[in-house]
Chain A
């Protein structure tokens, strides 16, 4: 270590962006196209879906047949590097009574987790920004739907999303490409659910069913968006924002750069970022006029909390003590079964687009329910590519006369077992509720006082729990799923036995991978680190554009709103820099 020194990059940038996912990619895109000089730091390697996607690989091309590993928790062909654990980068839990461990997903690659995300692209509605005014819980955002709408409109058209205008007040219309037709099991779901008063409408996904520009291809219906798309027919930050923005020549992209601290000067302004290079393990510093954090809600909070100085003893932008607090994820509970009518189905290609073609937006009135906030329902099923785990546990299914038509001894072997697998292929159906948790100051991440990662950076320690609100919501999800499955004549095969003893099978916090709230925006510097432009109250040239600024996260997957808010903040930065305010 004798030669360890800090290498200072001579160039002074207009902006340093930490993280290249949805928020960072959008900021880089807007700033670089406005002619600003940007340094983009990414903690993982380069990734270009055109070259690096594992799209169209067959199961036998994986020695583990697509089974997951710690490197790819969503399976061997998945488009995300790392996930619940990253080698050399631990995190810890307080273990306080009543807490449930936070499960922290971290992507390390250009584009971050947008390379594999579900592409579910839902606008928040007018109510979603003003929940406290409706149910007295949590806080209102300092902005409303009307502030964000112009940016939703722009990203719909810039990035592409399919769906339909349904005129639903809190699920606003947008600029939609045509959706794909429902698959067979989706028609079963639609018929059953609408028959019992639960709406089912075309899903809203950032997948190009029509070509929108010359740089991106059109969807060819392989259903593998999770692997990232070689023709850029779905939205990833890598393919649709960073890689096009690099062509401006205004971005210096530094991969394998793990940010350590935000640097500040005597005046208390941000001056740059220090990072360790994973390539050579050397320490570097880059300087710039603004610093934009987009490292993920928790990583951005970690960076701020680790950026301590005599001026900022609680960490940067944290005079309020709120950085890291209000951490929340979507609620989640799932159930699935088999549709006996679909045994022995005629075979055909029903891959379709990645994920579901239809979904259920929140449809009920909380005044008549025992929990606040809502959830939407995502659907799955059909002829998926057979992968590791195919029909695992058939011994619990193939004896059931309600499923198979006539009862027989379960388990078994030989020709009749082999035939059972064929008969069951394509008959499964599953549903997942994804709902809004109430952001809570007692759910937080903080710096663990005694643990560092392999780079010597202090790590996060989590303290999270579900309240009754979330658990009751999960209970309601389960009841709804049972009703829908029953109405379609399906037999529940998993997720049906959850009860009050296991909080109705609600997923651990973090597990739905919608981390938000840790660097929230607000008008009062005493209760929020950021103002309504996602600009730090205390450090005017410091911004955060990932899930951190979210006051609450609706029952809508957060990516589309991260993109819209990042674009809004980035345009504000361009404007403020022009005016020489920062």
Chain B
């Protein structure tokens, strides 16, 4: 197969699926019909062994977090990654649904997440006589400030710091691997193209240049 034909075959092959067609229309993304969004994001044509299929079905058949826990995860997620002038928030990118899936897929996250959420509620209860999600936004931020900065947090907050670190990592990984997050980052790859080296203006910016040897021996496209 020649190069042009092979790329065309690839593009036709992938864009013919629902998921990728949607991917081409970012504006459409907010339309949610199915509540189980984690299932909706599983591309049907992703190559899977039968053992993987069985594992996936088992994972999505279960529900791990309670509605109360999901509420807290959603609030925390949007505190960690809020909407700004560039892109939407963690919940816009369905990060809570991703977290529900991933703790079932990677069970070692389950106890730290469940226990961390309870730790947070118990601390809010003693400070504000309310669970975290029932606190005022100001109280929530006050509580988060006590655990979001590992170096300045008080020693008795150590467990809360560990929980918030995990939460920050899960939220960010969920957000920046979503369609909204990848676009925000400006990741420009994952498309058939011709690598022709670092753009000239970038080379110039860093005071670099290709050697004559490199220009002579490397693939280049005009």
- Is B66's CB within 8 Å of the partner chain A? no
Query: Once bound together, how far apart are the Cα atoms of A411 and B158, in whole Å?
Result: 13
In the complex, per-residue mask of A98-113: 1 if CB is within 8 Å of any chain B CB, else 0: 0000000000000000
Q: A60-B177, A211-B3, A230-B10 are in contact. Are A418 and B46 (CB under 8 A)?
A: no
Pairwise interchain contact B177-A63, C-beta atoms closer than 8 A: no
Pairwise interchain contact A64-B102, C-beta atoms closer than 8 A: yes
Query: Among residues 131 to 185 in chain B, which have CB atoms less than 8 Å away from a CB atom of chain A?
Result: 144, 148-152, 161, 164-165, 168-169, 172-174, 176-179, 181-182, 184-185
Query: Once bound together, how far apart are the Cα atoms of A76 and B42, in whole Å?
Result: 11
Query: Once bound together, how far apart are the Cα atoms of A383 and B176, in whole Å?
Result: 13
Query: Among residues 199 to 239 in chain A, which have CB atoms less than 8 Å away from a CB atom of chain B?
Result: 202, 209-211, 214-218, 220-224, 230-231, 233
Query: Among residues 319 to 351 in chain A, which have CB atoms less than 8 Å away from a CB atom of chain B?
Result: 341, 345-351
Query: Among residues 187 to 205 in chain B, which have CB atoms less than 8 Å away from a CB atom of chain A?
Result: 187-199, 201-203, 205
Q: A63-B105, A412-B149, A417-B168 are in contact. Are A71 and B55 (CB under 8 A)?
A: yes
Query: Among residues 362 to 420 in chain A, which have CB atoms less than 8 Å away from a CB atom of chain B?
Result: 383, 385-395, 399, 409-415, 417-418
- Is A6's CB within 8 Å of the partner chain B? no
- Is B84's CB within 8 Å of the partner chain A? yes
The interface residues of chain A lying within 8 Å CB-to-CB of B105 are: 63-64, 67, 69
Main secondary structure of the interface of A (DSSP, over half): loop
Query: Once bound together, how far apart are the Cα atoms of A66 and B205, in whole Å?
Result: 33
Query: Once bound together, how far apart are the Cα atoms of A178 and B217, in whole Å?
Result: 6
**What is the CB-to-nearest-CB distance from B14 to chain A, in angstroms, rounded to a whole number?**
6
Query: Once bound together, how far apart are the Cα atoms of A388 and B169, in whole Å?
Result: 10
Query: Among residues 14 to 58 in chain B, which have CB atoms less than 8 Å away from a CB atom of chain A?
Result: 14, 19-20, 23, 38-39, 41-43, 46-47, 49, 51-52, 55-56
**What is the CB-to-nearest-CB distance from B58 to chain A, in angstroms, rounded to a whole number?**
12
Pairwise interchain contact B190-A58, C-beta atoms closer than 8 A: yes
Contact residues on A (Cβ < 8 Å of other chain), bracket: 35 or more
Pairwise interchain contact B52-A69, C-beta atoms closer than 8 A: yes
Pairwise interchain contact B51-A411, C-beta atoms closer than 8 A: no
Q: A413-B148, A417-B168, A425-B187 are in contact. Are A180 and B176 (CB under 8 A)?
A: no
The interface residues of chain B lying within 8 Å CB-to-CB of A277 are: none
The interface residues of chain A lying within 8 Å CB-to-CB of B203 are: 187
Q: A202-B217, A411-B148, A417-B80 are in contact. Are A60 and B41 (CB under 8 A)?
A: yes
- Is B1's CB within 8 Å of the partner chain A? yes
Which residue of chain A has the shortest Cβ distance to B216 in the bound complex?
A178
Pairwise interchain contact B41-A63, C-beta atoms closer than 8 A: yes
- Is B67's CB within 8 Å of the partner chain A? no
Which residue of chain A has the shortest Cβ distance to B87 in the bound complex?
A418
- Quick check: which of B110-118, B120-128, B206-214 contacts chain A, the rest being far away? B206-214
Query: Once bound together, how far apart are the Cα atoms of A389 and B220, in whole Å?
Result: 34
The interface residues of chain B lying within 8 Å CB-to-CB of A395 are: 150, 165, 168
The interface residues of chain B lying within 8 Å CB-to-CB of A410 are: 149-151
Pairwise interchain contact A202-B218, C-beta atoms closer than 8 A: yes
Pairwise interchain contact A164-B217, C-beta atoms closer than 8 A: yes
Query: Once bound together, how far apart are the Cα atoms of A164 and B46, in whole Å?
Result: 36
**What is the CB-to-nearest-CB distance from A43 to chain B, in angstroms, rounded to a whole number?**
13
- Is A83's CB within 8 Å of the partner chain B? no
**What is the CB-to-nearest-CB distance from A554 to chain B, in angstroms, rounded to a whole number?**
25
Pairwise interchain contact B148-A218, C-beta atoms closer than 8 A: no
Which residue of chain B has the shortest Cβ distance to A177 in the bound complex?
B219
**What is the CB-to-nearest-CB distance from B16 to chain A, in angstroms, rounded to a whole number?**
13
Please pick, from B14, B55, B178, the residue contacting A69 in the complex, using a CB distance under 8 A.
Answer: B55
Pairwise interchain contact B106-A231, C-beta atoms closer than 8 A: no
Pairwise interchain contact B82-A390, C-beta atoms closer than 8 A: no
The interface residues of chain B lying within 8 Å CB-to-CB of A59 are: 177-178, 182
- Is A73's CB within 8 Å of the partner chain B? no
Pairwise interchain contact A217-B177, C-beta atoms closer than 8 A: no
Which residue of chain A has the shortest Cβ distance to B185 in the bound complex?
A425
The interface residues of chain B lying within 8 Å CB-to-CB of A353 are: 195
Query: Once bound together, how far apart are the Cα atoms of A160 and B174, in whole Å?
Result: 38
- Is A454's CB within 8 Å of the partner chain B? no
Q: A392-B173, A411-B150 are in contact. Are A180 and B187 (CB under 8 A)?
A: no
Pairwise interchain contact A56-B10, C-beta atoms closer than 8 A: yes
The interface residues of chain B lying within 8 Å CB-to-CB of A230 are: 6, 9-10, 13
Q: A71-B51, A231-B6 are in contact. Are A349 and B150 (CB under 8 A)?
A: no
The interface residues of chain A lying within 8 Å CB-to-CB of B220 are: 181
Q: A67-B105, A217-B1 are in contact. Are A184 and B206 (CB under 8 A)?
A: yes
**Which of B2, B23, B187, B188 has the largest number of chain A CB atoms within 10 A?**
B187
Pairwise interchain contact A58-B23, C-beta atoms closer than 8 A: yes
Please pick, from B1, B39, B149, B217, the residue contacting A411 in the complex, using a CB distance under 8 A.
Answer: B149
- Is A87's CB within 8 Å of the partner chain B? yes
Which residue of chain B has the shortest Cβ distance to A388 in the bound complex?
B173
Pairwise interchain contact A386-B210, C-beta atoms closer than 8 A: no
Which residue of chain A has the shortest Cβ distance to B147 in the bound complex?
A411
Query: Once bound together, how far apart are the Cα atoms of A218 and B193, in whole Å?
Result: 11
Q: A217-B3, A392-B169, A413-B168 are in contact. Are A222 and B177 (CB under 8 A)?
A: no
Query: Once bound together, how far apart are the Cα atoms of A181 and B195, in whole Å?
Result: 8
Q: A63-B105, A181-B214, A348-B188 are in contact. Are A220 and B7 (CB under 8 A)?
A: yes
Query: Once bound together, how far apart are the Cα atoms of A353 and B194, in whole Å?
Result: 10
Pairwise interchain contact A351-B43, C-beta atoms closer than 8 A: no
**What is the CB-to-nearest-CB distance from B121 to chain A, in angstroms, rounded to a whole number?**
18
- Is A81's CB within 8 Å of the partner chain B? yes
The interface residues of chain B lying within 8 Å CB-to-CB of A224 are: 190
Which residue of chain A has the shortest Cβ distance to B44 in the bound complex?
A61
Query: Once bound together, how far apart are the Cα atoms of A118 and B29, in whole Å?
Result: 35
- Is A475's CB within 8 Å of the partner chain B? no
- Is A472's CB within 8 Å of the partner chain B? no
Interface residues of A (CB under 8 A from B): 45, 52-67, 69, 71-72, 76-77, 81, 87, 162, 164, 178-184, 187-188, 191, 202, 209-211, 214-218, 220-224, 230-231, 233, 341, 345-353, 383, 385-395, 399, 409-415, 417-418, 421-422, 425
Interface residues of B (CB under 8 A from A): 1-3, 6-7, 9-10, 13-14, 19-20, 23, 38-39, 41-43, 46-47, 49, 51-52, 55-56, 60, 79-82, 84, 86, 98, 101-102, 105-106, 144, 148-152, 161, 164-165, 168-169, 172-174, 176-179, 181-182, 184-199, 201-203, 205-206, 208, 210, 214, 217-220
Q: What are 26 A-B interface contacts by the 8 Å CB criterion?
A: A56-B10, A56-B14, A57-B43, A57-B46, A63-B38, A63-B39, A63-B56, A65-B177, A179-B218, A180-B195, A181-B198, A218-B3, A220-B3, A230-B6, A231-B1, A231-B6, A345-B202, A347-B187, A353-B195, A386-B176, A388-B102, A393-B169, A413-B148, A418-B84, A421-B172, A422-B86
Q: Which 4 A-B pairs have the closest CB atoms?
A: A181-B197, A217-B6, A347-B186, A351-B189
Q: Knowing that A182-B214, A231-B1 are A-B contacts, what are 19 other residue pairs whose CB atoms are under 8 Å apart, sorted by A's residue number? A: A56-B192, A58-B190, A62-B46, A64-B101, A65-B98, A179-B218, A181-B195, A182-B198, A214-B1, A215-B1, A217-B6, A217-B7, A231-B9, A351-B190, A386-B182, A390-B173, A394-B169, A395-B168, A399-B151
